[in-house]
Amino acid sequence: MKIIMLGAPGAGKGTQAKMIAEKYKIPHVSTGDIFRANIKNGTELGKEAKKYIDQGFLVPDELTVKILLDRVAKDDCKNGYVLDGFPRTIPQAEVLDKALSEMGDGIDYAINVDVPDENIVRRMSGRRACLACGATYHIAHIPPKKEGICDTCGQELVLRDDDKPETVLNRLKVYHDQTQPLIDFYAAQGVLKNVDGTVDMKDVFAAIVDILG
């Protein structure tokens, strides 16, 4: 069962990916994690990726796909995997598609966690973080016991720049320009499944389980 998670930043696709991985006993493959692991372990692919990252460049699609294929070729992926954070663009999807089909393989499901922009802005601007210990809260869903203060270490909570409405709107614009076309790409392949991401997290997961069986 090979799954790609789609959805805007803040739609909750990462959380759902972890829950899918746990239920179906398949790895949750995040491109960020793979890059970090390869760089930390000093692999040839990691060294190559580090050259770009150190200069502040994006890792080229071909190299990203190589690192990804190296990861999904490992034994723990033989029953499938959940891809989170890749592909982000049509060229990336095409490179991945070509590489998988050369291996006689392909994606079974592209699950789009669908949430309107205004919900995402509201959801993300309610996030609060403790810069001291890394704990995260949400003023509506996971509020701290004392407003503005971390339960764990007592430090002040902040709204991170990433979660400010203007930043979120910018990220959403990039998403709609670059990543939204993937929805049409996977729909054309007949593997796209849409789920309503505005409902409770458990209900989103139940809808995904209905799809995956």
Active site residue 160: yes
Instruction: Please answer whether residues 6 and 112 qualify as being in contact, where contact means their C-beta atoms are separated by less than 8 angstroms.
Output: yes
Helix segments in 41-89, DSSP class H: 44-54, 61-72
Determine which one of 18, 50, 160, 164 is catalytic. 160
CB atoms within 10 A of CB 95: 19
Active site residue 123: no
Determine which one of 18, 50, 164, 171 is catalytic. 171
Determine which one of 66, 123, 127, 128 is catalytic. 127
Active site residue 71: no
- Stated as kind and residue range, the H or E segment containing 121 is helix 117-125
Active site residue 128: no
Determine which one of 2, 13, 123, 128 is catalytic. 13
Determine which one of 66, 71, 88, 123 is catalytic. 88
Q: Which CA distances in Å does 141 have to 12, 17, 120, 144, 189?
A: 14, 20, 14, 10, 37
Token pair, residue 204, equals 């989103």
Active site residue 13: yes
Catalytic residue numbers read: 13, 88, 127, 160, 171
